[in-house]
Amino acid sequence: MLFALTACTAPAATAPVSAQSTPPAAVTEQTSPARPASTPVVVDSSCKVDADCTVKNVGNCCGYYPACVNVNSPTDPAGVQASCQAKGMMSVCGFPEIQGCSCVQGKCAAAGSSNPLRQPMSENPAPVR
């Protein structure tokens, strides 16, 4: 009787087959933007008519940065940020509010933009109290 009990508890002759035949891929956590491309994107701001221009996010070291560029121009804001990080560079956060773009002397330029970092002084400023 003792022999029968030990036979039930004996290990199997072959190891069970794992459902996973390949080892799991290593999990890597990406905490920074992608590395800069070996060839940075060149933003094209050339134009012949106003319709050649549009507002796109070209990026800067702080993040979002709109600019008037050619409608067919590539942009790479993530590449710009990665390049800034790789070089240890920073930039001032803030960006112009661009209402539209126009073609000025063959280059796309902002039309009706304002700079939120600097407000124009009125001719008669109120005294500071």
pLDDT value for 129: 64
* pTM, entire model: 0.57
Query: How many beta carbons lie within 10 A of that of residue 52, not counting itself?
Result: 20
The CA distances from residue 13 to 20, 72, 128, in Å, are 21, 67, 92
pLDDT value for 92: 79
pLDDT value for 70: 98
pLDDT tens string, the chain, 129 residues long: the values are 344 444 444 444 444 444 444 444 444 444 444 444 568 899 999 999 999 999 999 999 999 999 999 999 999 999 999 999 999 998 878 888 999 999 999 999 998 644 455 555 556 666 666
E strand residue ranges, the chain: 53-57, 66-70, 100-104, 107-111
